[in-house]
Amino acid sequence: MNNSLPFLILFSPFLFVALRALTAGKPPALQIAEKSLYEKLGGEAAVNAAVDIFYRKVLSDKRISHFFDSVDMDRQAAKQKAFLTMAFGGPNRYSGEDMRRGHAHLVAKGLNDTHFDAVMENLGATLIELKVPAALIKQAAAIAESTRKDVLGK
């Protein structure tokens, strides 16, 4: 059992598909000219700050912190940063598992919609703390929400 993958990643390769869907139907020229969500959020520094704040909040949240017992959080954060960078349109250095496989052991421990809601709350609070514009928070939240069924093995 690999305990270093809890909520690894809250955002999965499915997010990449969701992010791509945001530009679906637009002329190719607009797709090229439009900045990625990664760039709009502020690139590497913003993703790094968001992940650090997010995990600080998650580890302080009694509803979900127990899922991270015995987890190497430095390793977890590094994987999350790589994934979010890729999912939001930055350089792809992510090599983690898909959502179902990465969370199956957590589902076996009771991970459910209530826990997913808590993660979503912490994500929103993180982005608000970083003063991310509401439209970008909405995009990031929609991407995260699109993973619910896979994270929860439904």
- The boundaries of the domain holding residue 39 are 13-151
> What is the per-residue pLDDT for 122?
97
Q: What is the CATH number of the domain that holds 39?
A: 1.10.490.10
Residue percentage of the chain with pLDDT more than 70: 79
Query: Across the chain, what does the average pLDDT equal?
Result: 84
Give the three-class secondary structure for 98.
coil
Report the C-alpha gap between 152 and 115 in whole angstroms. 10
Tens of pLDDT, residue by residue over 136-149, are: 999 999 878 888 99
Residue 21 included in any domain: yes
Tens of pLDDT, residue by residue over 3-56, are: 444 444 444 444 444 445 555 555 555 555 689 999 999 999 999 999 999 999
Residue 134 included in any domain: yes
Peptide bond connecting 9 to the previous residue in cis, omega within 30 degrees of 0: yes
Residue 2 included in any domain: no
Domains of the chain: total = 1
Angle (CA) 125-132-56 rounded to 5° is: 35
For the chain, state the CA radius of gyration: 15
